[in-house]
């Protein structure tokens, strides 16, 4: 207690100053958890480290380690009262950082130092036993399909607890650097051994082959870059079939639409000649034959119209036969990648390429004394 008084006096502020271990900020509340870690039973090492750091930041660590005891109330009643106030606040902070299940099994103790000691006796595991447990957990810690960040976080938590149970030997000679480097390399190997081999075997092989071995942060960055590269490749692979499917669907819908148009045209019947495929207003018998038909017959001459007609019919037959052959070849080639419905649509499109039907006078034999020969 005398040391605490001398420290406060030498600082140039009174016992109520901000540097005093008895100082409490207006925002301090006994029900507030000052540590992000909650004691759940098997995480005592992590919990105690976090809470000790928080108490040290508030200049209250002396209340739990026994360095700051209650002053004599008869000699200094004001300071004793301030000690009790700060001690009660610390008791509330400790209880607020314990899970409700564990807190219900702990009897209430008004002394923060006594409560801290009882918690240590109950939940602290012997260093040798805990070190063995941590090393076993590190050996079995694997990524197992999780993200690199999640896997690295689990390892870091165990490394930190292991360092608390078995700290690196401290010395001022050159051996301290050797110990630190060996500990760093051990963590690098543990990190690489737990990665998914199917995804990171190449990057692990490249890192292990480097001399000297990179530090843990550099290795982590390399693995994360590889993870992002693999993720980008998977996204591209998923998007490609989707785009192809959309293109195929558009082509299929277009073919169906064209086939519907063809069917609707074939259902039209001419009121003059009775043929399908055109209306009465478009009938050649009424509006006259197209120029290409007149020019072709004029160039063949009157005496050779029969032969020209024969050649025309033969050419038409060859064209129809060629279209049929092309249709068969197309069906043989395309049937490997098209469904039956898609093939039917394409067949309808090929049928449109055949010569349109013509009046009966043009389909029958050609006679010299016919009306068209004059």
Tokens for 349? Answer: 């499109």
Mean pLDDT of 119-137: 84
**Chain segment 52-100, per-residue pLDDT in tens:** 999 999 999 999 998 999 988 888 899 999 999 999 999 999 999 999 9
Q: Are 305 and 373 in contact (CB under 8 A)?
A: yes
**Highest mean pLDDT range out of 16-30, 126-140, 211-225, 350-364?**
211-225
Q: At what angle do helices 127-140 and 148-165 cross, to 10 degrees?
A: 160
Quick one: pLDDT band at residue 10, thresholds 50, 70, 90?
very low
Listed residue (164, 155, 123, 149) closest to 137, CA to CA = 155
pLDDT at position 17 over 80: no
Main-chain dihedrals φ then ψ at residue 55, nearest 5 degrees? -65, -35
28-59 per-position pLDDT tens digit: 999 888 989 999 887 888 888 899 999 999 99
Q: What are the backbone angles phi and psi of residue 16, rounded to the nearest 5°?
A: -90, 5
pLDDT, residue 141, reads 93
- Give me the DSSP letters along 86-137: HHHHHHHHHHHTB-HHHHTTSPP-S-HHHHHHHHHHHHPPPHHHHHHHHHHH
Span 25-34, pLDDT tens digits:
888 999 888 9
Given this model, what pLDDT does residue 83 score? 93
Among candidate residues 359, 202, 190, the one with its CA nearest the CA of residue 272:
359
pLDDT score recorded for residue 187: 93
Which residues have C-beta within 8 Å of that of residue 99, sequence separation ≥ 6? 38, 39, 40, 41
**Cα distance between residue 311 and residue 172, in whole Å:** 110
**pTM for this model (two decimals):** 0.47
Q: Which of 242-251, 315-324, 340-349 has the lowest mean pLDDT?
A: 315-324
**How crowded is residue 16: how many other Cβ atoms within 10 Å of its Cβ?**
12
Give me the chain's average pLDDT, please.
Answer: 76
Residue 281 has pLDDT above 50, yes or no: yes
Contact 203, 226 (CB under 8 A): yes
CA 170 to chain centre: 43
Weakest mean pLDDT among 146-155, 182-191, 203-212, 363-372 = 363-372
Q: What is the pLDDT of residues 153-202, one digit of tens each?
A: 999 989 988 887 777 777 777 777 788 888 899 999 999 999 999 999 99
Look at residue 309 and tell me whether its pLDDT is greater than 60.
no
- Cα separation, 97 vs 37, in Å, equals 7
């Amino acid at each position: 207690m005398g040391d605490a008084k001398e420290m406060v006096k030498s600082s140039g502020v009174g016992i109520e100053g901000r540097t005093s271990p008895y100082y409490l900020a207006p925002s301090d509340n006994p029900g507030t958890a000052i540590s992000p870690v909650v004691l759940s039973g098997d995480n005592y090492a992590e919990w105690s480290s976090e809470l000790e750091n928080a108490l040290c930041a508030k200049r209250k660590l002396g209340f739990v380690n026994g360095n700051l005891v209650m002053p004599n109330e008869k000699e200094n009643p004001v300071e004793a009262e301030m000690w009790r106030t700060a001690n009660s606040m610390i008791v509330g902070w400790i209880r607020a950082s314990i899970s409700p299940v564990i807190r219900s099994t702990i009897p209430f103790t008004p002394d923060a130092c006594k409560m801290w000691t009882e918690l240590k006796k109950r939940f602290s595991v012997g260093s040798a036993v805990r070190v063995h447990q941590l090393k076993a957990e590190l050996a079995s810690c694997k990524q197992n399909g999780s993200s690199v960040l999640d896997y690295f976080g689990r390892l870091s938590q165990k490394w930190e607890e292991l360092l608390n149970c078995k700290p690196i030997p401290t010395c001022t000679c050159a051996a301290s650097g050797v110990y630190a480097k060996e500990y760093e390399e051990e963590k690098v190997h543990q990190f690489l051994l737990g990665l998914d081999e199917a995804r990171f075997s190449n990057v692990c092989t490249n890192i292990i082959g480097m001399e000297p071995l990179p530090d843990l942060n550099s290795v982590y960055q390399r693995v994360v870059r590889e993870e992002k590269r693999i993720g980008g490749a998977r996204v591209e692979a998923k998007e490609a079939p989707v785009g192809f499917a959309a293109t195929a669907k558009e082509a299929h819908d277009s073919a169906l639409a064209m086939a519907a148009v063809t069917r609707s045209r074939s259902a039209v019947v001419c009121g003059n000649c009775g043929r399908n495929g055109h209306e009465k207003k478009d009938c050649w018998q009424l509006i006259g034959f197209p120029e290409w038909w007149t020019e072709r017959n004029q160039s063949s001459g009157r005496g050779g119209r029969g032969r020209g007609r024969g050649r025309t019919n033969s050419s038409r037959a060859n064209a129809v036969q060629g279209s049929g052959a092309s249709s068969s070849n197309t069906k043989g080639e395309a049937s490997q990648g098209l469904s039956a419905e898609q093939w039917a649509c394409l067949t309808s499109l090929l049928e449109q390429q055949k010569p349109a039907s013509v009046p009966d006078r043009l389909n029958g034999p050609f006679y010299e004394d016919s009306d068209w020969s004059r």
